[in-house]
Structures are given as C-alpha cells and as structure tokens.
Amino acid sequence: MSLSILLVVIIVVLASFVVLSYNSLVRRRNQVKNAWSQIDVQLKRRIELIPNLVETVKGYADFEQKTLQQVIAARNSAMSASSSVASQAGADNALSGALRQLFALSESYPDLKANASFLSLQEELSNTESRIAYARQFYNDAVLSYNNAVHSFPSVVFASLFKFEESEFFEATDAEKIAPKVQF
C-alpha cells in the first residue's frame, strides 16, 4: 500500500511540475504578445498623425518636397510592413529617420516653426515617440524573460516538447545606435 501511495505522490508532483512549467511559458509568451500589441498601438498612432503633419507642411510651398516624399514613403512602408518584429522594426526605424529629417529641416523655416498646428503635431509626435520607446523597452524586457525561460533548464525541456520558440527583440538600426554630432 505504501509503495502505491508513494508512486501516486511522485506522479502528482511530476504532473504538477509539468503543468506549472507549461503555464509559466504560456504566461511569458502572452506577456511578449501583449507588449508587442502595445508597440503596435503606438506605431499606428504615429502613422495616423503623419498625414496631418504632411498637410500642414505642404502649405509652405518652398519646403523641401524630397523630405515630404520620404516621410510619405516611410509611412506607406510602415503601413504595409508585415507583422513580423524585424519587418516592423525596419519600417519603424525608416519612419523615425524620415521624421527626424523633417523636423531638422523645419528649423530653416521660421513661419513653419511658429505654426500652431505644426507645433501641436510636433508635440504629439514627440509624445508618441516617447511612448514607442517605453513600449519597445517593455517588449524587449518581456522577450528577455521569455527567452531566458525557453533556454533555461528544466523549462527548456518543456519548451522544446511543446514547441515554444525564441522571440525576436525589437532592435535599433545601426544608424540609431550612433549619437548625432552636435556642434556649436
């Protein structure tokens, strides 16, 4: 009798361990998905602000058309990017670069810089960029936690068994890793 009780206890403990490990992996994977959806919300918010910005800037006829076309092309690219992290990151980085260029060129146009609509949109985009940066950090933290669980023993056994795969980080491009040169 005592051997059968011991066997049942061992089976219950092992089953509990498998269930807890599996649920931990599911919870972490869902945290990654939630974090990605937060990035997606902010990226869409930024994409929706750009047409208003472009229309405001178009009112200044001598403004650089090439820059506006780059912003529009980057927005279109971001809208049509696949849902993969790498694709979204690339499109996001291109759009960020185009917007930085637009705002840098606006410094040469005092009337544009003083335009209330432009200033309001610039502020909204700046706030959105901050939210995107925070969401990217939250996402990458969730990915780190999940990937550590996927590759750590003993959960690596269950991750492999239940086909939990490593997630991609949302990484900056090489251009974003270089600090801008400031001269006075």
Cβ distance 150 to 156 under 8 Å?
yes
pLDDT top residue among 33 and 182: 33
Is residue 142 in a domain? yes
**pLDDT value at 180 more than 50:** no
* pLDDT score, position 62: 58
- Residue 39 sits in which domain range? 26-169
Q: How many domains does the chain have?
A: 1
**pLDDT value at 183 more than 50:** no
The pLDDT mean for the chain works out to 84
What mean pLDDT is predicted for residues 54-83? 79
Q: Which residues of 105-127 are buried (b: 16+ CB within 10 A; e: fewer)?
A: bbeebeebeebeebeebbebbee
- Of 36, 21, 2, 4, the residue nearest 141 (C-alpha): 36
Residue 69, domain CATH = 1.20.1440.20
Is residue 13 in a domain? no
* pLDDT score, position 82: 81
* pLDDT score, position 182: 37
Q: How confident is the model at residue 181 (pLDDT cuts 50, 70, 90)?
A: very low
Q: Give per-residue pLDDT as tens, 7-26.
A: 999 999 999 999 999 999 99
Say what percent of the chain tops pLDDT 90: 40
Is residue 7 in a domain? no
* pLDDT score, position 61: 52
Q: Give per-residue pLDDT as tens, 21-51.
A: 999 999 999 999 999 999 989 999 999 988 8
What DSSP string runs through 70-89?
A: HHHHHHHHHHH--SSHHHHH
* Alpha carbon distance 81, 43 (integer Å): 11
- Of 59, 58, 78, the residue nearest 67 (C-alpha): 58
CA distances from 90 to 39, 45, 54, 60, 130 (A): 14, 17, 21, 30, 18
Is residue 34 in a domain? yes
* pLDDT score, position 175: 52
Is residue 10 in a domain? no
pLDDT top residue among 72 and 13: 13
* Alpha carbon distance 154, 110 (integer Å): 62
**pLDDT value at 178 more than 60:** no
